[in-house]
Amino acid sequence: MKALSLVFGEGVMTFDPPAGNSISGNLDMGGGYVLELKGTVQPVAGTGVVALDMIGNGRANTPTENWEYDYKAFMAPKWPIGINQIPAFVGTVIRAKPHGSAPAGVTASFVSIKQ
């Protein structure tokens, strides 16, 4: 499938209970590939939109050690007449630091869907 060749990565984001507008948690991609997530979620003034801004850092002594990815996203709009719409953040991610042969600056779109 052509669409699968476009997948940059896949995993499960798990968040701790928020403290004010601060969030933390992790992105587990399986096989010991984990990023520690820290950032903020806050309303964008006058828009009714919520913005997510966070950094994912690799864990020491794992395959992700020294990795850094930055995430910027917005809560997907809720359809007024939508049925069973699942909350989701949609945005972009950038590789902030190079690792291995992977250069910094590579970007991708991402979607995080509430389970």
Residue-level pLDDT at 5: 72
Question: 84-93: long-range contacts at Cβ-Cβ below 8 A with a sequence spacing of 24 or more?
Answer: 86/113, 86/114, 87/113, 87/114, 88/112, 88/113, 88/114, 89/52, 91/52, 93/8, 93/69
What percent of the chain is modeled with pLDDT above 90? 77
Neighbours of 39 (CB within 10 A): 21
pLDDT digits (tens, 9 = 90+) for 18-70: 889 999 999 999 999 999 999 999 988 888 889 999 999 999 999 999 999 99
Q: How confident is the model at residue 15 (pLDDT cuts 50, 70, 90)?
A: very high
